[in-house]
Amino acid sequence: MGKIFKFEQDVDTDQIIASQYIIYPTIDEMKAHTFESLDPDFAAQVQPGDYVVASENFGCGSSREQAPSVLKALGVKAVVAKSFARIFYRNAINIGLPVIVCKDLHENVKAGDDMELSMQEGVVRVNGKEYECTRLPEYMQGILDQGGLIASLNKS
Amino acid sequence: MGSTIIEKIVRNNVGRDVKPGEIVTVNVDRVMIHDIFIPFVASKFEEMGFTKIWDPDKAVLIYDHLVPASQVDDTRHFRIGNEFVEKYGMKNIHRSDGICHQLMTEAGYVKPGDVVFGTDSHTTTYGCVGAFSSGIGYTEMASILGTGTLWIRVPETIKVEITGNLPANVMAKDIILKLIGDLGADGATYKALEFTGDTVEKMSVASRMSMSNMAIEAGAKCALFTPDEKTAEYCEIELTDKERDLVGDADAEYCRVLHYQAEDFVPVMACPSNVDNVKPVAELAGKEIDQVFIGSCTNGRLEDLMAAAEVLKGKHVAPYVKLIVTPASRKIYRQAVENGTMAILAEAGAIITHPSCGLCCGRTGGILTDGETVVATNNRNFLGRMGTSKVGIYLASPKSAAACAAAGKIVVP
């Protein structure tokens, strides 16, 4: 079980982690500024195992891999959105952050709700209801299962 | 069944026919890394255990976002970049020549039909010469540097056909903004855009570049123009038959086809704080402004500076308005000096800076504060990009931007 942090559509990578922070030397130094312009308390409140739930086009904008990386570093278990921007989606898989497409979840949940995700079953459960998710293409699921691209490359 | 441009480029790369939705591994012809991400690329590359770059001559490192350093920390990126280049025998490095996307085409690193990846979302730009180019993160870049390959999903294509003659106050920027407004910020996600029609055939490569550059703002993976004589002249090459064939076949399958009549376009702006929040300039007229920025990989080219100079000739920037002009490259800077464009802009009161990304990424001067408004020719108006999150950024063509600078408010050029 994790808590839901809810965001709307077209959340861009500048909003996830702003440009002035991405030149910090490490992800750990950046992570306190995650979602700073949208929810200044996010980094302090989010707990390992919590979820980010968003509407369409999550992660649009720049190619900065720091965006999924700060979410992972804060312990976000998965981002569940109606849709994702392309580069964010690839980056998230490559660093081992699950990104799940779920069309019906966003409008039926609120911030603070408890959520459970089963990657195997391809469902999320919130407030006693089950929502079906779109499965990742096999190739990407393979990278994710191995913990990201580096682990996957090292294995092969 | 015929093929779209992207299907042909991927087919030529992998040596067999491909269909949209297929996942294939492509051989990479060129990669671009810029200063912001080089420290992360370098550390991931070594974490992956690679000891050499698959082909050092195919990698290009460009310092542009942080040039010249405005914070002490920036210098770390140059140090790590210089060490990386030295250690792995890279020859292609630009330390202060201009913006990465301008240099990749201007310096001849990209040719029609190439498959190119860069650590920047606006890598879609090279579609202006018929190359498949797209942005990736630093972990994937490190992986390409080691292997020379990357997996991709072959995208479906949206065809955008534009025919006719553009009104005199409309530029390519107005077309791409209008298209992004129509498609929405995710309207082309995972897809290729293909531009066709006599309007784009008449356009300069620089204008095509403004359009392919911004395709990512509709989520597109790439944005392609068929290589033609203008492309050949720009790239200083003779087109081969294979390059000439990079045209969407009449019986190719498109997931969507849009048609625009050029005469119908009007000057538009993307209003705060989304690129797809597009309105005709006429509807915004009268709004007072504090600053104007003309530059970036979208609109910092010679034709853009000349268009601004034409509007500003014999005029002066309005009192209290600052006009910042940032050429996209050193070559453009020199050309604009030589042909008198810079003199006109300087006479009109412009603050002319060195070539770099500059204010587009909130760097090297010109940041704004709460309640201020800027009209800018770059590609993003996201919250906080040019200062505080309460700055209103209006994205416009160079003609519109210059007209606003002179008027001190939003006006139709």
Which helix (H) or strand (E) segment is B150 a member of? strand B149-153
Q: What is the pLDDT of residue A139?
A: 87
pLDDT confidence tier of residue A136, bands split at 50, 70 and 90: confident
Compare CB distances from B383 to A37, A56, A137 and report the shortest one's residue.
Answer: A37
Q: Which of A14, A83, A154 sits opposite B384 (nearest CB)?
A: A14
Q: Residue B116: which region, alpha, beta or left (left: phi > 0; alpha: psi -120 to 50)?
A: beta
Measured CA angle at B185 (ends A76, B30), to 5 deg: 80
The CATH architecture annotation of domain B5-262 reads 2-Layer Sandwich (3.30)
The one-letter amino acid code at A19 reads S
Q: With an 8 Å Cβ cutoff, is A91 touching chain B?
A: yes
* Alpha-carbon gap, residue B340 to B14, rounded angstroms: 47
Across chain A, the runs of DSSP E, i.e. the strands, are: 2-6, 51-54, 78-81, 99-101, 114-118, 123-126, 129-132
| CB pairs A-B closer than 8 Å | 107
Per-residue pLDDT tens listing for chain B (413 residues) = 899 999 999 999 999 999 999 999 999 999 999 999 999 999 999 999 999 999 999 999 999 999 999 889 899 999 999 999 999 999 999 999 999 999 999 999 999 999 999 999 999 999 999 999 999 999 999 999 999 999 999 999 999 999 999 999 999 999 999 999 999 999 999 999 999 999 999 999 999 999 999 999 999 999 999 999 999 999 999 999 999 999 999 999 999 999 999 999 999 999 999 999 999 999 999 999 999 999 999 999 999 999 999 999 999 999 999 999 999 999 999 999 999 999 999 999 999 999 999 999 988 789 999 999 999 999 999 988 899 889 999 999 999 999 999 999 999 99
Name every residue whose Cβ is closer than 8 Å to that of residue A87 and which is 6 or more positions away in sequence. A59, A62, A63, B121, B135, B136, B137
Whether residue B139 and residue A10 make contact (CB cut-off 8 A), yes or no, is no
ipTM, two decimals: 0.93
pLDDT tens for B147-191 read 999 999 999 999 999 999 999 999 999 999 999 999 999 999 999
* pLDDT(A42) > 90: yes
| Eight-class DSSP state of B410 | -
3-class SS at A2? strand
* CATH class of the domain whose range is A2-155: alpha beta
pLDDT digits (tens, 9 = 90+) for B287-333: 999 999 999 999 999 999 999 999 999 999 999 999 999 999 999 99
* Separation between Cα atoms, residue B299 and residue B293, nearest integer Å: 10
Over residues A21-50, mean pLDDT: 96
Give the class (CATH, top level) of B269-407.
Answer: alpha beta
Considering only the beta carbons, identify the residue of A24, A60, A65 that sits closest to B186.
A60
The SS3 assignment for B336 reads helix
Q: Which residues of B touch A139 (CB under 8 A)?
A: 23, 151
Q: Taking CB atoms and an 8 Å cutoff, what residues of chain B touch A63? A: 37, 118-121, 123, 135-137
Q: What is the pTM of this model?
A: 0.96
Q: What is the largest CA-CA distance in chain A?
A: 43
B249 to chain A, closest Cα gap in Å? 26
Window 122-151 of A: residues touching B by CB (8 A cutoff) are 137, 139, 148-150
Q: What is the pLDDT of residue A153?
A: 82
pLDDT tier for residue A152 given thresholds of 50, 70 and 90? confident
Q: How far is B235 from chain A (nearest CA, A)?
A: 27
Residue B291: strand pairing partners: B322, B374
B112: nearest Cα among B244, B252, B298: B244
User: Residue ranges of the alpha helices (H) in B2-111?
Assistant: 5-14, 38-47, 74-88, 100-106
Residues 102-161 of B with CB under 8 A from A: 118-121, 123, 135-140, 143, 146, 151, 153
Q: Where in chain B is the domain with CATH 3.30.499.10?
A: 5-262, 269-407
Q: Is the pLDDT of residue A150 over 90?
A: no
Residue A54: pLDDT band with limits 50, 70, 90? very high
